[in-house]
Structure 1
């Protein structure tokens, strides 16, 4: 009897263990590096991003409708020292009238050979081409030829558009590559916003039903400006400045939104979703990208907060007044800052703020919009006073 009881308990335990859901593997986190001209600032950015992003997808080569081919001037020494898996991205502008298959393949092979001669070991190639649905059959044919020309051991991936979900050509197209990167940002009229998390989730789940291969989501960590145009639709200014005056409407992907979306995808990933790729690695002078501090916090799923405070540096009654952000979330410049003072005989604001002065109060008012990077500091003015009461100062967001 005891034997049968023990056997029953063992059988029940096996059933329970078999019903338990295995833990979902964590989503991979990768980075695009999209600067065409590398600078010394890349060294620190690569170093500071290593702990949070597994793989680097690096812009290698671009083809433009009018200007032809342009190579990115990478720093192979930095990439080799970094040591992370490296995927070379080939950007073929969507406005190209046709793809000259032999010419494109020759250019790709040449740049990959040059990278390898510089000591870089490639983990893959990605083709970034915003083909319209009508051109997907020709694009599939090109990818088939490229796949045959590349080493069989070198994975081939493509950047993909949600609009392709409407095409019956999509399954055959995805069959020619090893993985895809679904771009879910800035894919429609930017006047409607840079990113819609609900739409991104719908696209991701629809994509998971079309492909049986790994796919990634390309997520935004940047902003753009919309420039008014006499021709109707506004021009979009991103990494490269456009020489045009007039009003600029700034759009920025919201880190809080992206953090919530990434959390949902970690908990309930669509089938075949292998990871998230963030566009793009920010440098300190990148005025339209999140700071690396904020990007890392979002990728890790940390709680986000901005902690703005006034900082005073005094030398013989001369105060330098600055604003600092000690949180992990980039913040807009505050609209107003006030400081109780005594015995001031001079004060002024620096660019971006205006000063209103009374005998017992300095008020700095924002003149234009700007962003304070997480961990950053910005001087806003100076004052020569007998006393400034920093403890009673106020920052009004």
Structure 2
């Protein structure tokens, strides 16, 4: 009985925490200052994710955390898949925490039928459970955000759902993600007034027709126009900028055949080709500098989609994002070095010494030292290409990831020569080709 009474008292305490925060008051940031937040979009919090959060703490004013995805099943029932952040790690950060619920566009069918109540109840159930879990581990959730690519024709019904949530979460920062096309809708200002702010997503990838179609994830000139339109609406917003990329697949005729996002396996059919498109760190860094020099009216900050994690393949490295946050263009450079793991054996290693993972090639020019006899072979994806002047060996291969040097070739020197020379070749030039 004592245990039961204690459990009931503990539950009452946690649920009291759901409504114990003071009302939120927004103020414009000081000139030149735009708070920085990061989306953490991983469904499983591996040690890589934990390390990424801890590494970013000094630059984070907030984190926006995916906690659930809801959708309609083929039978029309509401379903949800929940994810569980490491609240103990987030509590250590001291940053503002916002939970994000991703709502599939299929759920809009219920809103169209004026069935807002069951959707709001499910969102509330998920949000309350996340808030309680965070409180248990010492983390305070200050915000709730809904992420949905709602059709423009249904923004009024979406607003009715947000109004219902506003009543339930009056002491939380309520927000939603918004597409730039929504800004022209007559229904958008009313929708925006249901929330404390909206997140203007100025990133997307248009479907390419062919392999020659120019690709960009964030057109910063268009983004600047979108931000100006948001300013004119006169309601609080933040701007979401991208760090991610895609691997695009094209068929034998060069026609678009599909794409791969982070974590999705891929197996290319014969004759198909793949191209990687990443967010342009140079253009985005310049865009951020312009925003900071004159913060847009009613803009409450920049949120990055998404926080780089060491195991990401199609995302900026943390060093790239850190350079952009510092107002710089990320440095690009590679180096090569000779290592000798044992007498007579030499290896050529390539190292990414820059601040960016590059989907390009690195070329290394090496000259054999005269008078040394050796055998050699290439490693991994490195190949030997024609070089000028004659006698120079030019190797080409993928630029390695930051922190992950790769061997490009090995050289075996005759025993008689191994004691007379430090290594059989000299490195002349290392260059990046994109």
> Same fold by TM-score, threshold 0.5 exceeded?
yes
Pair 1:219 & 2:231 matched: no
Deviation at 1:272, TM superposition (A): 1.1
Residue of structure 2 equivalent to 1:7:
none
Give the 3 Å change call, closer, same or farther, for CA 163–77 of structure 1 in structure 2. Answer: same
Deviations 1:308-355 (A, max 9, x none): 111221231312221112222333443432211243532222222124
> What are the within-5 Å matches in structure 2 for residues 1-397 of structure 1?
24-66=31-73, 68-96=79-107, 97-99=109-111, 100-150=119-169, 152-186=170-204, 188-189=206-207, 192-213=215-236, 215-228=237-250, 234-243=257-266, 245-246=268-269, 247-314=273-340, 315-342=342-369, 343-355=372-384, 361-366=392-397, 370-374=398-402, 376-385=404-413, 387-395=423-431, 397=433
Deviation at 1:274, TM superposition (A): 1.8
Matched residue of 1:98: which SS? helix
Bigger shift: residues 297-306 or 129-138: 297-306
Give the 3 Å change call, closer, same or farther, for CA 23–121 of structure 1 in structure 2. Answer: closer
Matched residue of 2:95: which SS? coil
Bigger shift: residues 242-251 or 282-291: 242-251
Deviation at 1:285, TM superposition (A): 1.4
C-alpha contact (below 8 Å) 1:136/1:169 kept by paired residues: yes
Deviation at 1:242, TM superposition (A): 4.7
Give the 3 Å change call, closer, same or farther, for CA 217–136 of structure 1 in structure 2. Answer: same
Give the 3 Å change call, closer, same or farther, for CA 347–355 of structure 1 in structure 2. Answer: farther
Residue of structure 2 equivalent to 1:19:
none
C-alpha contact (below 8 Å) 1:181/1:218 kept by paired residues: yes
Q: Which runs of 5+ in 1 are unaligned?
A: 1-21
Bigger shift: residues 273-282 or 232-241: 232-241
Residue of structure 1 equivalent to 2:6:
none
Deviations 1:111-133 (A, max 9, x none): 33333333321121111111011
Deviation at 1:236, TM superposition (A): 3.3
Deviations 1:359-380 (A, max 9, x none): 95433223xxx55444552322
**Aligned-pair Cα RMSD in Å:** 2.7
Deviation at 1:233, TM superposition (A): 6.5
Give the 3 Å change call, closer, same or farther, for CA 390–333 of structure 1 in structure 2. Answer: farther
Matched residue of 1:331: which SS? coil
Give the 3 Å change call, closer, same or farther, for CA 102–234 of structure 1 in structure 2. Answer: farther
